[in-house]
Structures are given as C-alpha cells and as structure tokens.
Structure 1
Amino acid sequence: MPSTLPDGDPAPASGELPESALRGLGDRPFGFYVHVPFCVTRCGYCDFNTYTAAELGPGASHHDYAETAIAEVRLARRVLGEAELPVRTVFFGGGTPTLLPARDLGRILAAIDAEFGLAAGAEVTTEANPESVDPRSLEDLRERGFTRISFGMQSAREHVLRVLDRQHTPGRAGQAVLEARKAGFAHVNLDLIYSTPGETDDDWRASLAAAIEAEPDHVSAYSLIVEKGTRLAARIRRGELPMPDDDVAADRYLIADEMLGGAGYGWYEVSNWATTDAARCRHNLLYWTGGDWWAVGPGAHSHVGGTRWWNVKHPAAYAQRLAAGLSPAHAREELTADDRDTERLMLELRLDSGYPLAAVAPRARPKVAAALAGGLLEPEAFKTGRMVLTLRGRLLADALVRDLLT
C-alpha cells in the first residue's frame, strides 16, 4: 500500500501560512516539487505515494492531472503573496512523471513560470523510468523547458531487476541516457540501488560499470531499504528472500565510491556523485541547505520558512479539494529552533562542504573531537572550521549524527 501521512496540526482550508513562514520570503532559494503519483506497476520495494490504474479508483485520472496541479500552483501564488520568488529549481518526481504526455508536464512548468517566473538558468528535472520515454518524447521535454532527467536504472542484472519488480531490460537505461543526450539534455542522472537480496559484489560492479559506460554526468546510489507494507517486506518475512545485510551494504558503498571516483565522479553528498559542479542536482541541494519549496501533488510535502505541511494522500481527495477552491493541505507543523538546528546538522554533514564547527552545541564538542580522532572527519577541513566526513565517516554518518544529538 502507499505510504501513510504523518500526524500534525490541522492545516487551514485557505492554505494560509503563519507570519513567521512568510518572514524573509525571497531571501532564501525557492523551488517547486511536482509529484506525479502514477505508475504502470508497483515495484516490490516501493513505499512512495503512487498508484497504478487498478489502485486509482474513481475521481482521479491521468487526463485531468495537469489541470489539477496547475490549480495548486495558482493557490501557491495566492498564499505566498506578491513577494518576488524566482524559481531556481523545479523537480518532477513520482511515481513516473513521464507517464503523462510531455505537453502536460510542460503545461505545469509553464504555469509555474507564469505565476512566479523561472530564474535565469533554472534547473528543471524530471524523473523517468527508462521504458517510459523514447527519442521523440525526450525531444518534446527539452522543447518544453526541461534541462535535466533522472532515470531509475537500479541494476544492470536481470535477476536483480526481477527481485525489485522493475520492468525494463538491463540495457535500456544506458540506451535512454544516449537518447537523452541526443535530445539535448546536458545533465542526466542514473539512480542505482545496492544490496538487493540475491545481488553479489560482481553484480554490483557490473551495474556500476554499465552506468559509467553510459556516461551520465551524475549517479545516485542508495542502499535498499525494506519498507513495512511493501511486497518485498512480505517476501522477506515469509523467508523467500534474505534481509539485506548492513556489512554487505557498507562493502557495496566502498565499491561504488572506488569505481565512480576512478571514472571521474566526485561525491558531493553521501549518496550522490557528479562529474562537475554544474552536474550536481541543484534541487536536492536546495533541500539540503535549508531553502524553501512548494510541493504540488497528493501526499507532497512542502517547506517555507520553518513551516512544513503535507497534502492529502489520495489523488481523488486532492482533486476534490482543489476543485472546491480549498487547499489540499492535510496537516502541518511549525519547526522549533531546535528542530531546524537538528535538521541542518543531519543534512549538511552529509555534504562535501560539511557543517560549521561554530554551530556545534557545546555539549557535543567532545564527541566531535572523538570523531576526528576516530578518523570520521577530515583533518584539513577541521582546521578551517568545517566538519567534513572522510570515507569512513560517510559509512557511519547516521551513527555520528545520532551521537552528536544525544
């Protein structure tokens, strides 16, 4: 089943935000996330808020989705007022955004531009499954203003793709990268997943080699997480598949960093590598460095000025709210100063730019010293007042953050 929504305070039907959220609006980077919740099939590991045709039910459709999303873009303009908010990044995620025609994705992007204005050189990304695009649709996306595309490759081994319930053949992702390049996309990402049950070190090396051979300028690699309620979790619970092993995942990460680094990809976030600074995903960097974003779509989570809110989950309920002139927000929370400090540490420490030592709470400074002595932090960066993770530190990043927060 799709993921559940968190608890929170009631969100006003108007979508109105507290004054504290609007204070300083425009001083921080601003972007849009657009959630497209449609998939042809549900991958066994997926816990995202997505729906196949059989799951969608009445009251929502692919055909009407662009107009509904545009209604939320217009709501965003009313809620945020007249502040100058040039949109630096737009990211279409899912689901599979490219199940919608390129003209519909382009209409949503055009509405964002009409209401807020795209900043000069704005990054506009869409996710895509390799089998959901072809040369003509890729050219159409470029013509409508998309500048970056992210393909879900996951693996180059057929038996691993079967465990993940992926539909594309092993070579399709590499072919899609070539087609995207020919269509004029300067920036192309491949997503990979490691430590899938049944995957070997050789399988993982083959997947990395295939990704590198395709020559995207960005690669994301994530350890498989077994989410409750997914088909994969049920198979593991029944003993059909083994639970992924943390030590194996650490070894796979080391293999990824070695192979990607050797091919000219530099890490800039624990799970992300790019060939150049220009190839880094600016939309994700906006998230990781405390920017503001409005998230369009069912179940989508927004953040503006320390207020976070999330929309109703089902596409039919989402469409009904907007058709009635109401905000689709389900609930929200106002982050405290401590909440924001915690999130800043959790996110910035994962970046190659690191976290400022001056922002470390006094009670945590002995633990920082211990992390430096234990080889988790780069000594040279430390001398300049930054906490930057070593390779060993990247493997233990989550544990280090927990330690610094307790």
Structure 2
Amino acid sequence: MPSALPLADPAPADGALPASVAEGATGRDLGVYLHVPFCRVRCGYCDFNTYTASEIRGVKQSDYAAQASAEVAFATGVLADAGVAPRAVSTVFFGGGTPTLLPSADLIRMLDAVRDAWGLAPDAEVTTEANPDSVTEAGLAELAAAGFTRVSFGMQSAVPHVLRTLERTHDPARIPDVVRWARNAGLQVSLDLIYGTPGESLDDWRRSLELALAQDPDHLSAYALIVEPGTKLARQIARGEVAEPDDELQADQYELADELLAASGFGWYEVSNWATDDAHRSRHNLAYWTGQDWWGVGPGAHSHVGGVRWWNVKHPAAYAERLAAGVSPAAGRETLDAETRRVEDVLLRSRIVDGLPTEVLDADGRTQVAGLIADGLIDGRNAIAGRIVLTRRGRLLADAVVRRLLPSAS
C-alpha cells in the first residue's frame, strides 16, 4: 500500500491559511496539481497513492470529477480569505494513478473547474500523465481541443521482460502509435523511462532509449528504480526472488542516457529530465523545484503556498466524505521557517541546470565549494560566477553534493 503521510500539525477544518501566505504572492506562479488515484492494476514497484477497483469499494470513479471540482471551489475561498491576490494559473498537471482511466470528459470538467476558478494564463502548460494502453486517438484529440497542451506517457521500457518485472501492462509496440496520435492532436510529448530494473542489461536500456528517441519526443524523463519499503518488489527482493538493483549498473545506465540524449539534441535541465529546448521543459515540475505556489487537489495530494505546506487525507472515501461535509480534505500541514526553506532551496535548486545561487549557502556550505570543484562534482566556471551547477559526475552523486553543501544539516 502507499507510504504513510508525514507527521505534522493538524490542519484546520476550514482550511484557513495565515495572512503571511499573501506576502509576495504576485511574484510567484500558481500551479494546480490534480491527483487521479485510480489504476487498472498496481505495479509491483509503486508506492504512490493509487487504488485499483478492489481497493476502493464504496467509491465511484464516475463521482471523482465532481469531487475534485469541489476542492477547486473550496481552494478559491481559502486563498481569497487569506488575502492572496488573484492569479491566473500558469501550469496544470494531472497525475496519478492513471488520469486517462477516466473519460476525457471528466478530465476536461476538472480543467474547466480550474479555468473558472482562477483563469488560465495565455501560455498555460496543461499536462496529463497517461499509460500507453489507457488512451485513444479520439480521446487525445478531445483533450487537446479542451486546452491540454502536453501528455506524458509512462513508457518505462521497450523490453518485454523488463516491463513484466515492473508489472507494466502495455505493449511497447504501441508507443509509436500513441505518440503519433498525440502529435496529430497538437500535443507536446514527454516519455517517462525507468532504469535499473532487476534483470535489465545495459543493452536492454539502450534499446529503450533508442525506441524513445526514435519517436522524436519533446521531453524525456529517466528515473532510477528505487525499491520502496512495503511494495511487492521489496518483498520479492527480501525473499530472494528478484535481485536488488545494481548501483554501478544504474550509474552506467544514467551515463548512457545522458550521452545518447545529448547526441540527439536534448539538454538536461534537472538530474532526471531532459528537453529539446527551454520551451519544452516541464514548467510545472520546475515550479516545485523553485518554490512556487501550487494547490494539490485529490486524495493524498500535497500543496504549498507562501511557505505553508499541507497534504490531503489519502483514501478516496475519506476525501469524498470531507468534501461532502464542506470541510477541508487536508490531513496535516506545516509552516516552513526560514532555515527549513533555505535547506529545501539547496536540496532542490542544486538539481537543476539553472543552478543554485551560492548566496543561499551558509558560511560552512561555501567552504565546500572549492573541494566540490576539485572533485569534479560542480562546474568551476559557474561556481566562480556565483552558481552551483552539477557536472555529469555530480548528477550521479547529487545527494552527496547536497550533504556537503549542507554540513550543519547532515
């Protein structure tokens, strides 16, 4: 089952936010994340807050669009009561789960709720995640006509035995079809890959990269498989049925990805993300990494506005009950102090190509910069110019770099 929610302060039933969240709000982007917590099957490696039909008895998927729209309406009142100036939404992201398990009309209804509540910026980025076997050509065209601009397909691998280990259900031969359908609809295309699956060789990984690149996507994400506690995969490894991921092989796979992507005209802009140009970076994810505002809609969704962070109850039934009662679905929240925000800035901005301003570092952190340059982990020219930017080797050791930049927090 999905991992537990964080421990923090209880959230008020009316969702009220402190007046401090309004300070500087006009200088921050507002994004909306809509979590669709439904999947046809649960993949063995996944610990996201998702539910199959057998796990959500008493809750109807057909009711979900109305529930999510109700939270959007609730959010407008909370932000207005806190004195947050109205802002058009810059990015909308439908994640999951598998958003495209719902009919296109339901996703459009949720997007319309966001548009009606806040308005969409003229250049708003509107993304949905999708599995290759959860979309149709007509459905993608309907989403594009309604204002969606981007689709992120969970390709994961082109190799059948790797997909079987991951318990993914799609046929890799379907990838060219769904990409073509999205292109014909006028949607930007991102492909998500996973490397380091037990039994996946370097040649297997090359095959996946080559199929992905052959589709000419605008964006590609490549994530190392992480074995999360409590998942089916973790239990299989504990019983010796499946080998643990090999760290050295994963490093080789990352380097191969970066080499092939660079040769195909992609530039990295975050440790696990590449785009053909700046215009095709995921602006929604960049908002997370740069500390903008976002409201997370749905069970287990997380939000952040002006240094206050909160998260919703996890189960769809509990979520629906709270909204029906007219109270906040939030389960807990925390107000970030200045030091916590600084530490998070280092954690997140150090991962992006635009870099971390060295002024964010404390005195102890600044003493580490010369050593990180000497060790080949950060770029020397950028460091002299006042920004921490990871080298390829630094990206492989990003967590170690952060620990050195935050010695007092380690």
Same fold (TM > 0.5): yes
**Residue in 2 that maps onto 1:56:** 56
Q: 1:105 maps to what in 2?
A: 107
Deviates more, 1:156-165 or 1:355-364: 355-364
Task: State the one-letter code of the partner of 2:20.
Answer: S
Shift of 1:18: 1.4
Q: Encode CA deviations 1:330-352: one digit per residue, 9 max, x unaligned.
A: 00001111110011011111111
Q: Distance in 2 between matches of 1:2 and 1:401?
A: 27
Residue-by-residue CA offset, 1:172-215 (whole Å, 9 max, x unaligned): 22321111001111x11000000100000000000000000011
Q: Which residue of 2 aligns with 1:303?
A: 304
Aligned partner (choices 153, 156, 160) of residue 155 of structure 2: 153
Report which stretch shifted further, 188-197 or 380-389: 380-389
* Counterpart position of 2:393: 392
CA RMSD of aligned residues (A): 0.9
Contact 2:266 2:274 in 1 (8 A): yes
Contact 1:308 1:334 in 2 (8 A): yes
Residue 130 of structure 1: SS of its match in structure 2?
coil
Query: Which residue identity lines up with residue 9 of structure 2 in the other structure?
Result: D
- Between the aligned partners of 1:305 and 1:311, the Cα distance in structure 2 is 18
1:74 aligns with 2:73: yes
Match of 1:284 in 2: 285
Match of 2:315 in 1: 314
The separation in 1 between residues aligned to 2:18 and 2:247, in whole angstroms, is 42
Give how far 1:134 is off.
1.1
| Structure 1, unaligned runs of 5 or more | none
How big is each residue's C-alpha offset from its partner over 1:110-161, in whole Å with a ceiling of 9 and x where there is no partner? 1111110101110000000000001000001101110000000000000000
User: Aligned partners of 2:400, 2:378: CA distance in 1, in Å?
Assistant: 13
CA distance in 2 between counterparts of 1:26 and 1:53 reads 42
1:133 aligns with 135
The number of aligned residues is: 404
- For 1:43 and 1:172, the matched residues in 2 are separated by 19
**TM-superposed deviation, 1:48:** 0.2
Equivalent residue number for residue 344 of structure 1 = 345
SS of the aligned residue for 2:189 comes to strand
Q: What amino acid maps onto 1:327 in structure 2?
A: S
Question: What is residue 182 of structure 2 aligned with on the other side?
Answer: 180
Partner of 2:206: 205
In the aligned structure 2, how far is the partner of 1:234 from the partner of 1:135? Answer: 38
Q: Give 2:94's aligned amino acid.
A: F
2:380 aligns with: 379
Q: Tell me, in whole angstroms, the C-alpha distance in 2 between the residues paired with 1:284 and 1:142.
A: 20
Are the aligned partners of 1:103 and 1:144 in contact in 2 as well (CA < 8 Å)?
A: no
Determine the C-alpha separation between the residues in 1 that align with 2:319 and 2:304.
18
Q: Distance in 1 between matches of 2:322 and 2:22?
A: 23
Distance 2:120 2:246 in 1: 44
Q: Equivalent residue for 1:293? A: 294
Check whether the contact 2:355–2:387 (CA below 8 A) recurs between aligned residues. Answer: yes
Cα distance in structure 2, aligned partners of 1:396 and 1:174: 34
Is the aligned partner of 1:47 residue 2:47? yes
Residue identity over aligned pairs, in percent, reads 60
Could you tell me which amino acid in structure 1 is paired with residue 48 of structure 2?
Answer: F
Range with bigger deviation, 125-134 or 384-393? 384-393
Map of 1:211-360 to 2, 5 A cutoff? 211-360=212-361
Deviations 1:6-52 (A, max 9, x none): 11101000010112223222321110000000000000100000000
Alpha-carbon distance between aligned partners in 2 of 1:176 and 1:16, rounded to the nearest angstrom: 43
- 4+ residue runs over 3 A deviation: none
Judge conservation of contact 2:223–2:272 (CA < 8 Å) in 1.
yes
Shift of 1:247: 1.2
2:369, 2:383 within 8 Å by CA — same for their partners in 1?
no
Checking the alignment, whether the CA contact within 8 Å between 1:355 and 1:387 is kept in structure 2 is yes
What SS is found at the alignment partner of 1:34? strand
Alpha-carbon contact 1:135-1:180 (below 8 Å) kept? yes
Under a length normalisation based on structure 1, what TM-score does the superposition of the two structures give? Answer: 0.98
Kindly indicate whether the alpha-carbon contact (under 8 Å) linking 1:301 and 1:311 is maintained by their aligned counterparts in 2. Answer: yes
Q: Are 1:86 and 1:118, in contact at CA under 8 Å, matched by a contact in 2?
A: yes
Kindly indicate whether the alpha-carbon contact (under 8 Å) linking 1:175 and 1:214 is maintained by their aligned counterparts in 2. no
Deviations 1:345-369, CA, capped at 9 Å, x for gaps: 1111111111111221111222111
After superposition, the C-alpha distances for 1:289-339 in whole angstroms (9 at most, x for unaligned) are 110000000000000001000000000000000001000000000111111
**What is the alpha-carbon distance in structure 2 between the residues aligned to residue 112 and residue 390 of structure 1?**
39
